[in-house]
């Protein structure tokens, strides 16, 4: 029997079972609850509640960009992060947390500089990087951290 992974829907945050081999092959599948694609090649905006589902309950590693709307380097990195999402999904889910709207979440992870990216696997932090990066740098950093 094929191994299946739990994948959180980016639209409704419902957990879905997806065969690992289909995700590795690049097929994204659709949410059994709302019908939205499980991966769209774009970062997902998370709040405190949806963060828990994507970080701790999903089997897909989660790369979170902690940012703020007033931050120049955050704005400069946003299109690079978007581009990286198109290359890293469905192996890694990319998400954004607005530290102005989610101050408790930013405090929980000790975010002191933005942009800061944190890579989570099964709810545990596995890597952290502060400062803006280009798409190739983000992809390389994530791949190295997941080895």
Side-by-side strand order, sheet with 44-45: 44-45, 93-98, 62-67, 116-121, 124-130
Which of 9, 12, 31, 74 is labelled catalytic? Answer: 74
Whether residue 71 lies in the annotated active site: yes
Which of 9, 12, 34, 71 is labelled catalytic? Answer: 71
Flag whether 20 is in a domain: no
Say what the pLDDT of residue 26 is.
Answer: 57
pLDDT, average across residues 49-66: 96
Whether residue 74 lies in the annotated active site: yes
Length of the chain in terms of residues written: 147
Flag whether 23 is in a domain: no
Flag whether 4 is in a domain: no
Range of the domain at 119: 40-145
Residue-wise pLDDT for 79-113, tens only, equals 999 999 999 999 999 999 999 999 999 999 999 99
Residue-wise pLDDT for 39-53, tens only, equals 999 999 999 999 999
Domain count, the chain: 1
Flag whether 6 is in a domain: no
User: Could you tell me the CATH number of the domain that includes residue 120?
Assistant: 3.40.30.10
Say what the pLDDT of residue 55 is.
Answer: 96
Confidence class for position 1, pLDDT limits 50, 70, 90: low
């Amino acid at each position: 029997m094929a191994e299946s992974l739990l994948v959180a829907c980016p639209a409704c945050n419902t957990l879905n079972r997806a065969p690992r081999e289909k995700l590795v092959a690049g097929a994204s599948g659709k949410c059994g609850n709302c019908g939205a694609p499980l991966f769209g090649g774009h970062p997902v905006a998370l709040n405190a509640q949806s963060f828990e589902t994507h970080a701790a309950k999903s089997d897909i590693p989660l790369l979170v960009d902690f940012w703020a709307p007033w931050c120049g380097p955050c704005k400069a990195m946003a299109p690079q992060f978007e581009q990286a999402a198109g290359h890293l999904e469905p192996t890694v889910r990319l998400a954004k947390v607005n530290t102005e709207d989610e101050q408790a979440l930013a405090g929980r992870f000790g975010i002191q500089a933005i942009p800061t990216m944190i890579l989570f696997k099964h709810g545990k932090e596995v890597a952290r990087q502060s400062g803006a990066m280009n798409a190739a740098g983000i992809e390389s950093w994530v791949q190295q951290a997941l080895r």
